[in-house]
């Protein structure tokens, strides 16, 4: 475990613990919390996160970084007890990594989350768990609501290991809420994108932007008719902060995502047009991109009415603006 000491931290009453805080979303959340006057402790093992994401706040007097897994952090009980609340963002990210390392995904997710929940429960420290739209699985519904039934693919396809792991985390967290009275809020994130996101693990928008800038082909997997909704990371952070500050949201699940639906083929075309690129677009069969038998969701559009009702917020940044901001 590697730890940087706190720089004159504020009182523990304003301290926030963020697991996975060196990740793309986590780092943006950390910046927002520091702007709000919080003292922030980030715990991240840097398996997919990066210290570069935290460069802007590295010297902030109310920021502390601990390089460690949750399960190997000796300070965890003290950190959880002193925290005003906890954001749990630590997770394996990206379809590429999930397909290639299903064992790591399954073991790390459940084990680490369980240890964090136990620590939080000792002092009833409010905890917000970030989950994923992947839990909706193979459902063919045109829009997904938080109380929908979930249809996960077969265990022979490692594609679904991440969805299963995060769904298990949700069940575990809600069990702690019921039986241990732990204040839990769950946020299911839909395709969060924005500045500093990398295409390293298969994230489609930064991958398209990098190819368009380099004049290389934009590789669209499958027939390109599969559709997604994208949400700017700043909108996601705003929703997460509002949910954590809403005691009535404890024990509830919320979708967080944009609602402007676009096919992946049209997204590629829009990136090329927005960046005035000459890059061609290529269709690549799933079997060439991933293992044979790869499953994909044809649509993934969230209903966010519940989020708007509970915290008076709905992500509204347009897709064109999202592309420009991410590219910038």
Q: How far is CA 270 from CA 262, 276, 289, in A?
A: 10, 10, 22
Q: Is residue 141 part of a domain?
A: yes
- pLDDT, residue 295, reads 62
User: Is 277 within the bounds of a domain?
Assistant: no
The verdict on residue 216 lying in a domain is no
| Distance spanning both ends of the chain, measured CA to CA | 34
The pLDDT, as a whole number, for residue 71 is: 95
Show Cβ contacts of residue 161 under 8 Å, excluding neighbours closer than 6 positions: 98, 102, 105, 106
Sign of the C-alpha dihedral computed for residues 48, 54, 55 and 58 taken in this order: negative
**DSSP H stretches of helix in the chain:** 24-35, 76-82, 95-100, 102-121, 161-179, 204-214, 233-244, 264-274, 286-289, 305-311, 319-327
Residue 94 is predicted with a pLDDT of 55
Taking the alpha carbons of 110, 113, 116, 121 in that order, is the dihedral positive or negative? negative
Residues with active-site annotation: 162
The CA–CA distances, whole Å, from 212 to 19, 207, 274, 276 equal: 33, 9, 10, 8
What is the 8-class DSSP label of residue 144?
B
In a domain, 121, yes or no: yes
Angstrom distances, CA of residue 236 to CA of 11, 32, 106, 315:
27, 11, 25, 7
Structural domain total, the chain: 1
Let me know if residue 127 belongs to a domain: yes
What's the whole-model pTM score?
Answer: 0.91
Q: What is the pLDDT at residue 12?
A: 43
Instruction: Write the CATH number for 15.
Output: 3.40.50.720
Does the residue 165 lie in any domain?
A: yes
pLDDT at 8: 43
**What local confidence, expressed as pLDDT, does residue 100 receive?**
64
Angle between helices 319-327 and 264-274 in degrees, nearest 10: 60
- Please, what are the averages of pLDDT over each run of 10 residues along the chain (328 residues)? 53 80 96 97 93 96 97 97 96 62 73 96 98 92 95 83 90 97 98 86 87 96 93 98 98 97 97 96 78 70 97 95 93
100 lies in some domain: yes
- What is the span of the domain harbouring residue 139? 2-194+232-259+300-316
Domain annotation covers residue 200: no
- Please say whether the beta carbons of 117 and 174 come within 8 A: no
pLDDT at site 72: 96
Locus of tokens 């109380």: 147
């Amino acid at each position: 475990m590697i730890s940087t000491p706190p720089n004159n931290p504020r009182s523990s009453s304003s301290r926030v613990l963020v697991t996975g805080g060196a990740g793309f979303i986590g780092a943006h959340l950390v910046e927002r919390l520091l702007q709000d006057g919080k003292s922030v402790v980030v715990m991240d093992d840097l398996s997919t996160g990066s210290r570069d994401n935290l460069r802007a706040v590295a010297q902030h007097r109310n920021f502390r970084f601990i390089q460690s897994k949750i399960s190997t952090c000796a300070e965890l009980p003290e950190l959880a007890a002193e925290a005003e609340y906890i954001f749990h963002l630590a997770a394996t990210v990206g379809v590429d990594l999930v397909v290639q390392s299903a064992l790591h995904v399954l073991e790390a997710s459940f084990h680490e989350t369980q240890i964090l929940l136990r620590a939080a429960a000792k002092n009833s420290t409010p905890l917000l768990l970030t989950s994923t739209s992947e839990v909706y699985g193979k459902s063919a519904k045109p829009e997904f609501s938080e109380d929908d039934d979930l249809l996960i693919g077969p265990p022979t396809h490692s594609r679904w290991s991440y969805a299963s792991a995060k769904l298990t985390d949700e069940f575990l967290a809600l069990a702690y809420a019921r039986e241990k009275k732990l204040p839990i809020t769950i946020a299911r994130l839909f395709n969060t994108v924005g500045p500093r996101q990398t295409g390293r693990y298969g994230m489609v928008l930064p991958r398209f932007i990098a190819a368009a800038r380099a004049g290389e082909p934009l590789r669209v997997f499958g027939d390109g008719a599969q559709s997604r909704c994208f949400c700017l990371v700043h909108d996601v952070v705003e929703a997460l902060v509002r949910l954590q500050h809403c005691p009535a949201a404890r024990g509830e699940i919320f979708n967080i995502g944009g609602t402007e639906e676009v096919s992946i083929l049209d997204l590629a075309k829009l990136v090329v047009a927005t960046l005035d690129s000459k890059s061609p677009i290529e269709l690549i069969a799933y079997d060439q991109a991933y293992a044979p038998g790869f499953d994909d969701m044809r649509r993934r559009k969230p209903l966010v009415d519940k989020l708007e009702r509970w915290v008076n917020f709905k992500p509204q940044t347009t897709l064109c603006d999202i592309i420009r901001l991410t590219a910038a």
